[in-house]
């Protein structure tokens, strides 16, 4: 790239993550002259992050330019990279995602990937995605989009369907492989691995140290350490921010991994997202409170974490850390930008459309998570081939939900919303079809103001632009 890039972050006022991403970008020498265009509808939150970004730039004496705006078109104009870091509706909408399903017995500890929580987190963002796509195709048609918003597979598939060249990014591969290396006492830089699947349900299919296959020892250690009905002690607390490498086992990951260990014992390979997440995506672990407690002895509740954030304090803490050490986190976003700008190749795990069957035994309309080569030519998914058939079968139960929700957004057919929720594995454990429909109707009513017109219950009025809040980063 012959010029200093313009990097736009939409949802830049969100909790912690957008500012940490700014630190990542500025940690690469080739990006220190970039223009960072920070956009959010909430001017107060935006000002907090933009002020911290300027203070960081000034502290390190960098030539980067930090712009801030509440005007989406201004932020998108001429952008080379656009990074999405928002959810629409904030904590109040998230409350509906978890509380309404709980009345039907569907207890989601996260509720941002599939299930009723994931479906409606996606659907209430559709209007914002449509507006962004319409402006971007006019103002920055060649931009590389990087999506960090959950539900990753649905959002990334939909943005690509709207014509935006989008890769979705998560930290679950990085976090899980680090946790496994730490568990085995192997230095992370000596480990090699290969993963594939879908976001929050990809699989570590190869885990090695040089020529040594680490899986036999991994199966032995995990089986000894993570026993159903036995809780670990002395775990680190967790605040929901997983962008930096963990130092030890926590209440989120590595401490109580009975769910993922059980999945590995029965299906052969280790999953890439925490046991809390993983328990929501299959029918076996959240049947009733007693069963859940046997597999997850300490609850980790993302809604409660998001509800209790001290946003200013979190940004201030990040700022002081980045002043002392401007080094990148484990996130892939800045590595992608740097590889495209410099042409120096990088390999990341990205979420991409499965068109052409990157994973050959998952559907064409799936969004899959695979290794991607990044260089001056952009993000290039590597062909994986077939997953082990039992793993593809598990993935397909989640892909069913994801593709039906995306189809609902593309066609305006509200029946596909009902189909998506009814086919969710956790919902299917607790609800009859009639109950799943009633629950979905309640969620459609609760989120009506933020939904696309075709999916709104009769008579529901749309929210104005000020109510569509890209502020809570994930």
Q: Which residue has the tokens 């800045």?
A: 334
Residue 134's SS3 state is helix
Q: Which residue has the tokens 């000034």?
A: 58
Residues 282, 169, 50, 141, CA torsion sign = negative
200: alpha, beta or left? (left if phi > 0; alpha if psi -120 to 50) = left
Tell me the DSSP string of 371-392.
Answer: EEEEETTEEEEPP-BPPPHHHH
Residue 167, preceding peptide bond in cis (omega within 30° of 0): no
Q: Can you tell me the distance from the alpha carbon of 349 to that of 365, in angstroms, rounded to the nearest whole number?
A: 19
- Name the catalytic one among 96, 171, 276, 418: 171
Q: Can you tell me the distance from the alpha carbon of 357 to that of 279, in angstroms, rounded to the nearest whole number?
A: 27
Q: How much of the chain is helix, strand and coil, in % rounded to 5?
A: 45, 15, 40
Least Cα distance to 235 among 259, 256, 218 occurs for 256
Contact between 19 and 315 (Cβ < 8 Å)? yes
Contact between 303 and 236 (Cβ < 8 Å)? no
Contact between 439 and 101 (Cβ < 8 Å)? yes
Q: Can you tell me the distance from the alpha carbon of 152 to that of 298, in angstroms, rounded to the nearest whole number?
A: 26
Can 60 be counted among the known catalytic residues? no
Q: Can you tell me the distance from the alpha carbon of 237 to that of 230, in angstroms, rounded to the nearest whole number?
A: 18
Phi/psi of residue 313, nearest 5 degrees: -65, -40
C-alpha count within 13 angstroms, C-beta hemisphere, residue 205: 19
Active site residues: 171
């Amino acid at each position: 790239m012959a010029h200093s890039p313009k990097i736009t972050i939409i949802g830049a006022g969100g909790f912690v993550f957008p500012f940490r991403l700014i630190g990542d970008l500025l940690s690469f020498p080739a990006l220190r002259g970039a223009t960072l265009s920070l956009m959010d509808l909430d001017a107060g939150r935006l000002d907090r992050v933009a002020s911290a970004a300027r203070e960081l730039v000034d502290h390190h004496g960098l030539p980067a330019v930090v712009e801030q705006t509440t005007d989406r078109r201004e932020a998108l104009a001429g952008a080379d990279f656009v990074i999405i870091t928002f959810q629409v509706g904030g904590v109040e909408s998230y409350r509906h995602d978890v509380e309404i399903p709980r009345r039907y017995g569907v207890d989601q500890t996260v509720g941002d990937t599939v299930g009723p929580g994931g479906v409606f987190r996606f659907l209430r963002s559709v209007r914002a995605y449509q507006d962004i796509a319409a402006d971007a195709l006019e103002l920055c048609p060649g931009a590389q989009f990087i999506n960090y918003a959950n539900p990753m597979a649905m959002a990334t598939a939909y943005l690509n369907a709207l014509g935006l060249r989008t890769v979705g990014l998560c930290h679950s591969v990085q976090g899980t492989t680090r946790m496994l290396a730490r568990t085995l006492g192997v230095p992370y830089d000596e480990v090699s691995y290969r993963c594939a699947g879908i976001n929050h349900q990809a699989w570590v299919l190869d885990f090695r140290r040089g020529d040594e296959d680490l899986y036999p020892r991994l199966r032995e250690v995990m089986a000894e350490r993570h026993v159903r009905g036995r809780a670990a002690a002395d775990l680190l607390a967790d605040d929901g921010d997983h962008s930096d490498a963990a130092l030890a086992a926590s209440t989120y990951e590595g401490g109580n991994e009975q769910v993922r260990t059980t999945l590995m014992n029965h299906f052969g390979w280790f999953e890439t997202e925490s046991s809390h997440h993983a328990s929501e995506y299959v029918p076996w672990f959240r049947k009733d409170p007693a069963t859940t407690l046997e597999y997850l002895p300490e609850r980790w509740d993302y809604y409660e974490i998001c509800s209790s954030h001290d946003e200013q304090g979190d940004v201030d803490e990040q700022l002081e850390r980045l002043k002392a050490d401007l080094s990148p986190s484990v996130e892939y976003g800045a590595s992608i930008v740097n590889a495209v700008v410099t042409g120096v190749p990088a390999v990341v795990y990205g979420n991409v459309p499965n068109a052409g069957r990157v994973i050959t035994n998952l559907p064409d309309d799936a969004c899959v998570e695979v290794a991607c080569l990044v260089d001056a030519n952009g993000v290039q998914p590597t062909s994986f081939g077939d997953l082990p058939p039992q793993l593809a079968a598990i993935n397909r139960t989640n892909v069913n939900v994801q593709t039906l929700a995306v189809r609902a957004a593309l066609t305006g057919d509200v029946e596909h919303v009902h189909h998506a929720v009814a086919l969710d594995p956790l919902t299917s454990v607790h609800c009859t079809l009639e109950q799943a429909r009633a629950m979905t109707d309640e969620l459609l009513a609760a989120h009506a103001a933020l939904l696309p017109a075709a999916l709104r219950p009769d008579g529901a009025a749309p929210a104005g632009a000020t109510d569509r809040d890209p502020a809570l980063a994930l």
